[in-house]
Each structure stands twice: as C-alpha cells, then as structure tokens.
Structure 1
C-alpha cells in the first residue's frame, strides 16, 4: 500500500474537516523521513500534542518554563527525572499519554497554576504544529479512541495551525529554512570565533555553544525566541565558525519503566575503527535496552568518553592514530575513569596482549569476532555484578 502524503494546504483542509465533524480521538501524522506526531482531539479541538524528534526534551523545557517546582533537582539529570516521574500514574494513563496525565496530577497537587498549565499546553501544541508544518508533507490518520480526561483546556484547530504556519514563515523568511530549531550549535573553529567576539562574550558563549543544547533550549534559557537565537549565530554558521549537530532526545520515562532498575539503563561506549564491530555491538545492546555509543575515530575517543561518562567501555587494540593501549592508559589517569570497566577487543588472543592490556589498566579481554552471548555476559558481569554472581 502506497502512503499518501498531504501538502500543507490539504492538511489544513483535513484538520478543518476534523473540526467541523466534532471528532474525538487521535490524529497520527508521519513525515516522509519517519518523524511521527500525535494530536489528541476532543470534539474537534486539540487537547494535547506530542511526538517529533525531541518529545522528552520539549516536555522538560516547557515544564521548566511553566515553573513546575523541582527546586531539589540541582543538576540537569535530576531535573529530568523530577519532571518525568510517572510513578504516580496508572498503566492506562502511561499508555494513553503520560505527558497529559502528569499535567492532570500537577494541577490536582497545585504544583503549577492554571494559567501556567494552559500556557504549557498551548506552547506544546503550537511547537508540535510548527514541526509538522516544517515537514511540508505528512501522512494523515484518524483513530477513534477514548479521549483524554479531564479536558484541561481546548485549543482551536484552525488557530493552532495558523500560528504554526506564521512561525514557520517567520523562521524561513529570516534565512533559517535549512536549520531545525531542534539542532544544537557548537563552536567548530575556536581560534577564529575568539577573534570575532569579545573575551567576555566568548567566556559566556562557550558554555552556550557546547553542542549539548538545542536552539530551542538556548532560546528558553535566554528568554528569547528560537528565531532570535538562530539569527544571532547565522553568519557564524555560514562561515563554518560554528556548526550544527544533531542531539538525541532524553530517555523516555515509559521505556525506563519497562525495565527493572539496574544495569540495562547503563551507557556503553565502543571505541573501534570497524563499522561492522560497532554496528554489531549496537544491535546487541540496543535490543537489550542498553544505551550505546560507537566511536570509530580513536583521536575523538577520550573527549567523547569524558563528555558521556559511560559505565562500560569496549576498546579495540589495533587502530590508526591511537591504539587501545594508549587510550586505556590515558583514561586510567583520569580520576572519573579509574574504576570504569574497560574491556579490550582484539582479534589476536595472545598472552602478550593480555599482559600488556592488564598493565595499562584493562579490566577484561574479549576476542573477536564478537558473540552476543559473551558480550552480554560481560555487560552483566560489570554493570550488575550482584545479579551476575547469583546466576
């Protein structure tokens, strides 16, 4: 069956028809590149919207702007966990739309004012609609199902679409058409950028342009629009002084709740110049619920490991530029990685290699080609030793 994709004009007409039908249920929209969004509808008006590239990042950002009290969360990870804590929701609420039912609970608990709650819903809906409009063509599916309840606020379908189109046109008219506000900006040429801005500005901007925050997140912190942020750095992006990079979404609380607490939520890094080895390990670990990052450039290995702080590292011995012995030795000199398990990967299972690997601080040794059973045993051994010892 060939999927039919609607242009923006046809999508607008379809949404207006949904409004006039007083439809209640869900609308599923999918772009040609695979992005998916859900609109929750009640009697032809929008109750809530979610999906896209960064639904969890959007949730955390908009909840923070709304002023939800997470004063005990003193770092980003603690804030994320506080704002995505779904332990008080039923299984049905989680499966239906955990974001909406967290808002329902927060309203009941008085954790946010009604005005703030409505503003968060409106902002979320318009942002989702912006991303849909930005996709230019989407498939459309209506699903009749039980609607979200209670109805905290209802947003006019035509008005939300109109606002999204206006924002998207403004975004494009300012020369940002090829840039997604979900991308991150990073300083690509440090020396050149330092020459272009004052020392004071550079000191401030190096923490903003660190490749860890999306344009939308930078805008929220600066209390400016994403358009303003995009325009501020547009000339630097054009010259290559700054670069755009893609960021993953934060971990979904729903996916985390499906796994028991412990080792499967851990982050694993593989440093190996072989795409086959990296792809194979990624397949093995992601099927089991682990987070996984591969690094095929040995010169980038140390900075990435320091930034990501994995709980387990797989390290190839033979690589161009920097070999596994050198990388392992350097990691062991960094306080944060003195106890991190480092498993050496090699196609030559010799005594000399094992002895030398131990001398530079390797924790274990695994012979190629990798076998899923042995790889998972290694992960279980070092990420959940209590469970491993009981087997």
Structure 2
C-alpha cells in the first residue's frame, strides 16, 4: 500500500480533530525520506514525542539542559534494564518509550524538579513537531494503543504545533530553509576560515565545528537558539568555508549489547579541563558502546577515579591546579590503578613530554585534536581485544 502524504494545513486540521475528539493513543508520522516520528496522546493532549534522526542525542541534550548530568549518571543500559523490572515493560514498549519511563523514574527519585521535567517534555515535543513541519508533507496514522502512564504533564496540541510553525518560519526567514538543525558543521577551508575569525575565536570554534556536533548541540552549549547559530554560520556555509555533514545518532540504550548478558561495558574516564575534548571523547566512546565519564576539575579527578574505578583513563597534560604528570604519578601510587592504562592527551608532541610521561607511569601518549580512529584503536588495544576483530 502506497503511503498518502498530507500537507501541513491538513496535518494541523488532523491534530485539532484529535484534540476535540479527546483521542488517546499514538500518532505515527513518516516523511518521504524515511524519517518517522511518534506523538503519544492522552485525551487529545500530547504526553510525549520522539523519533526523527536524533532521538537519543535529543534526549541527552534536553536532559542536560534540564539539569540532569547524563554523562556521569550510572550506566544508562543498567537503568533501562532496571525499568523492565520496575515497570514490567516489554522490550518492544521500551524501544518506543524508554525516554519517558526514565523521566518517570527520575521524577520518583527526585533527580529532576517538576518545572525542569515539564520544560524538558515541552522542549522535546516542540522540537519533534518542528522536524515534522520541516518535512513539509508526511503520512499520518492514528493508532489506538494503551497510553503512557503515569501522565507527567499534558501539552496542548494546537499550541505546541503553533510554536513549531513559528520556529520553522523564523528558520526560513533567515535563509535556513534547506539546512536541517540535526546536521553538523565542519570547517572545510581551514586557512580561509582562520583569516575570517580571530585566533581566539578559531581556537574555540574548531572544537565545535568539527563535524561531530549538531547545530542544535552547538546552540545548547552556547545557550542560544538554533536559529541564531544557523544564521551566524550561514554566509560561511554559502561560501564553502564551512560545510554541512550528516551526523549519526547515539546508539539506543535498548539495542542489543555486544557484551554478554549481565556484564557491563568498560568504563572510560577523561580528565581534561576542556569541555570540547570531553564532549568529543564522550561522543566517540558512547557510539562504540562504552561507558564514559568526564571530570574537568583536576582536584576532583582522583576522588572520582577511586569512586568509579575506570578501566581506561585519558589525562590532559596541562590543567590548572594539578597537571597531568602529578595526577598520573598519584594514581600510580594507588594499588587499584597500578595497571590501569593511562593515556596522556596534549597539544604539544615534544620528546621531553613523552619521556616525562613515561617516567610518571603513563601507558600511552597522543596529541590533540582528538582523532576518532586513533582513540578508538587505543580503547580496543587496552580494553577488550575482542572488539578489535
């Protein structure tokens, strides 16, 4: 059966009818390019929304903005496994709504405030609707299925759709019609870009304009709207100085694990005062299925390492308060870390630094900027040789 695609005006009418009919269930929407979204509806109002190209990245980003540090939370996979016991959910149910049930669990534990919870759900719903609007036409299906429970908050469907329409219009007005905010930006012409921006701006931007941060993620870090970020880089994209890159989503925490049942993936720690380096390593290793934790305060590094017991440590050489040499030397004096691989990160690939790093007990030494292939090889080399095959 060939899918019938409807226009935005028709979609707005359908959503209004849902509201007036007090419909409960799922609304499944698909674009001609293969994107799929799901709206969870209760009595004509939206409970939650998910889908699109980056559902996991969206959840991580919006959870962080809501004040929940998912990068140093307990292993997400273990949390999801726990939900199957707590809520008696099937794997099929978790595949579609694990985000919502994790929020329910956080609310019960007091890990997220009521206001932050509502804001996260509202932000997520509007973002999903924005992507649906950006698709211009979608197929539409109402499915009368059991609704999510409990109902954390109920969002007016007309109002949320109206906000998404306004945001999409702003996106078009500044000339971003053909740019998807889930795509990343990469410096395509380094020399030309260095001539345009100041040296300080270039040093800051090269970490986010590396093809590994979506426009939405850059906006979240800068505490600005995606429209502002997109508009600021538009001229450089048109000139070819910057280019757009497709960005994969993080792996789903309910996907089949490559580790045996009942075992956890190795934990990797990054000790670096640069949030860009920590974020980059987190993206790389979470995509590989590892657990990851970062600490940017060198004074907290050793207590956190003792608490979390990582199996591999990436350690920046130059940091305020305590440098990498000092931290490495102190870790090696602790019995639990005598054999833990410690990889020094540095922007200066000097012979003296390499020798000194070996003297204090470093296992390996790599230079910045972080290269995905290299750090992945490092992890495979020192953690699980099976992953290298």
The two structures share one fold, judged by TM-score above 0.5: yes
Please tell me whether residue 44 in structure 1 is matched to residue 44 in structure 2.
yes
Instruction: Report the count of equivalent residues.
Output: 285
Distance in 1 separating the partners of 2:188 and 2:223: 25
Q: What's the offset of the Cα at 1:256?
A: 3.8
Alignment of 1:208-247 (within 5 A): 208-247=208-247
Please tell me whether residue 158 in structure 1 is matched to residue 158 in structure 2.
yes
Q: What's the offset of the Cα at 1:86?
A: 1.3
Distance in 2 separating the partners of 1:310 and 1:32: 37
Alignment of 1:258-337 (within 5 A): 260=260, 306-309=371-374, 336=378
Unaligned runs of 5+ in 2: 267-287, 290-367
- Identify the residue that residue 30 of structure 2 maps to in structure 1: 30
Distance in 2 separating the partners of 1:62 and 1:97: 16
TM-score (norm 1): 0.67
Q: What's the offset of the Cα at 1:95?
A: 4.4
Distance in 2 separating the partners of 1:262 and 1:194: 50
Alignment of 1:341-380 (within 5 A): none
Deviations, residues 253-302 of structure 1 (Å, cap 9, x unaligned): 01045973599999xxxxxxxxxxxxxxxxxxxxxxx99xxxxxxxxxxx
- Identify the residue that residue 386 of structure 2 maps to in structure 1: 383
- Identify the residue that residue 124 of structure 2 maps to in structure 1: 124
Q: 1:137 to 1:80 in 2, by over 3 A?
A: farther
| Root-mean-square deviation over aligned CA pairs | 3.2
Q: 1:33 to 1:81 in 2, by over 3 A?
A: farther
Deviations, residues 292-343 of structure 1 (Å, cap 9, x unaligned): xxxxxxxxxxx9994145867xxxxxxxxxxxxxxxxxxxxxxx389489xx
Q: 1:83 to 1:168 in 2, by over 3 A?
A: farther
Q: What's the offset of the Cα at 1:85?
A: 3.5
Distance in 1 separating the partners of 2:240 and 2:78: 36
Please tell me whether residue 102 in structure 1 is matched to residue 102 in structure 2.
yes
- Identify the residue that residue 112 of structure 2 maps to in structure 1: 112
- Identify the residue that residue 87 of structure 1 maps to in structure 2: 81
- Identify the residue that residue 201 of structure 2 maps to in structure 1: 201
- Identify the residue that residue 361 of structure 1 maps to in structure 2: none
Distance in 1 separating the partners of 2:54 and 2:151: 24
Q: What's the offset of the Cα at 1:238?
A: 0.8
Distance in 2 separating the partners of 1:179 and 1:23: 34
Distance in 2 separating the partners of 1:206 and 1:166: 31
- Counterpart contact for 1:30–1:36, Cα < 8 Å: yes
- Identify the residue that residue 302 of structure 2 maps to in structure 1: none
Q: What's the offset of the Cα at 1:41?
A: 0.3
- Identify the residue that residue 59 of structure 2 maps to in structure 1: 59
Distance in 2 separating the partners of 1:253 and 1:217: 20
- Identify the residue that residue 255 of structure 1 maps to in structure 2: 255
Distance in 2 separating the partners of 1:243 and 1:83: 34
Distance in 2 separating the partners of 1:81 and 1:234: 38
Distance in 2 separating the partners of 1:40 and 1:174: 32
Q: What's the offset of the Cα at 1:208?
A: 1.6
Distance in 1 separating the partners of 2:103 and 2:223: 23
Q: What's the offset of the Cα at 1:87?
A: 2.7
Deviations, residues 169-220 of structure 1 (Å, cap 9, x unaligned): 0001100001000000111111000000111111111112111100000000
Unaligned runs of 5+ in 1: 267-289, 292-302, 313-335, 342-380
Distance in 2 separating the partners of 1:121 and 1:132: 17
- Identify the residue that residue 10 of structure 2 maps to in structure 1: 10
- Counterpart contact for 2:77–2:253, Cα < 8 Å: no
- Secondary structure of the residue aligned to 2:181 is coil
- Identify the residue that residue 171 of structure 2 maps to in structure 1: 171
Distance in 2 separating the partners of 1:311 and 1:196: 33
Q: What's the offset of the Cα at 1:19?
A: 1.0
TM-score (norm 2): 0.67
